[in-house]
Amino acid sequence: IIGFQAYRKHFNFRDHHMTGWQEVSTREFYEYQDWLYKWGGGTIEDMLNKYDMIIPPPFDLTAQGGLAHDFCASRSWQDWHAFRNATKGYDWDWNINHVTSHWFVCKWPLFDEFMTDWWRVFKELEPCIKSEDASGGTVYVTRALDYLTERFFTLWLASRTDIRTKTFPLMISWDAR
């Protein structure tokens, strides 16, 4: 089993009745981290016997015009076009209106499958990323491939009707370090 979370965003396995992305105080976030450590993974293995991947709720981009328009407007249209060129072999629905953050938990074979696909694209994409028109500021420029990995994950996952997903809410503390 392999899983990823961000340092300020964690799956909320304790309060799974919550929905979406829940912003909490730094104190609540650290208390949850303590709980998470003591919980030790609890029922994740059981969940992965019923589901292939645990993911966060998708973030709706309808108001931003969808995945492509949002990326071009808020990150970099040049990098988006490089991404499109590097993924031209994929039969994807490019009119998708959400992004699924690439925090997930799954078994190793599925992770290996995803990473094999991403590595093929990454090798072609990396030298093409310029971020010269980046409107997302310095955060985007320093993490351009992270943002593009997230878009790849979103499109890859949306195209995979064979993958059974279980969604858990995210707990977020912007001030956590």
Q: What is the DSSP string of 83-113?
A: HHHHTTTS---TT--EE--S--EE-HHHHHH
CB-based contact 155:102 (threshold 8 Å):
no
Is 139 a residue whose pLDDT tops 90?
A: no
Of residues 76 and 18, the one with the higher pLDDT is 76
Question: In sequence order, what DSSP letters do the residues of 8-43 get, joined into one string?
Answer: SEEE-SSSTTS-SEEE--HHHHHHHHHHHHHHTTTT
Of residues 134 and 146, the one with the higher pLDDT is 146
Confidence of residue 18 (pLDDT cuts 50, 70, 90): confident
Mean pLDDT calculated for residue range 66-86: 94
Of residues 177 and 8, the one with the higher pLDDT is 8
Q: Dihedral (C-alpha) 30, 31, 32, 34: value to the nearest 10 degrees?
A: 90
Mean pLDDT calculated for residue range 42-50: 91
Confidence of residue 41 (pLDDT cuts 50, 70, 90): confident
Burial of 162 (0-12, 13-18, 19+ CB in 10 A): exposed
Is 123 a residue whose pLDDT tops 80?
A: yes
Is 154 a residue whose pLDDT tops 80?
A: yes
Please state, in angstroms and rounded to a whole number, the distance separating the CA atoms of residues 67 and 157. Answer: 14
In three-state secondary structure terms, 167 is strand
Confidence of residue 8 (pLDDT cuts 50, 70, 90): confident
Mean pLDDT calculated for residue range 96-100: 96
Confidence of residue 74 (pLDDT cuts 50, 70, 90): confident
Neighbours of 14 (CB within 10 A): 16
What global pTM score does this model have?
0.90
Mean pLDDT calculated for residue range 72-78: 90
Please state, in angstroms and rounded to a whole number, the distance separating the CA atoms of residues 95 and 155. Answer: 10
Please state, in angstroms and rounded to a whole number, the distance separating the CA atoms of residues 176 and 30. Answer: 8
The reported pLDDT for the residue numbered 137 is 62
Q: How far is CA 30 from the centre of its chain?
A: 22
